[in-house]
Amino acid sequence: MLRSAAPVFAALGDETRLRLIAVLCAGSAMSIAQLTAGTEITRQSVTQHLQVLASAGLVHDVKVGRERLWAFTPAHLEEARRALDAISRQWDHALSRLKERVEE
């Protein structure tokens, strides 16, 4: 589980990509022009970031006429959440064992 979630964590480790995911989560599919509107980031840079996110399975593109729209794909993010939940359970178990030993 952790191995398959690693690309998601790596992709989300960049502030720009994290921002792109937040924007795409909040709405429908968007074009690169829409994603760059009101920002100083170039279309080329956004395209590269979207490719990284697509490689991690977090976004996908859809052709609509001559335009390419990008949309959020939640499945891999859910997988990463499950990996974090598993880590959290392991920590809880380890802390419980430590507490028992300290109290003995």
Query: Could you give the domains of the chain?
Result: 2-103 (1.10.10.10)
Average pLDDT over residues 63-76: 91
pLDDT at 2 over 70: no
Average pLDDT over residues 12-30: 92
Q: Where does 5-95 show beta strands of DSSP type E? A: 30-31, 59-64, 67-72
Task: Place 99 in a pLDDT band, splitting at 50, 70 and 90.
Answer: confident
Site of tokens 């760059």: 36
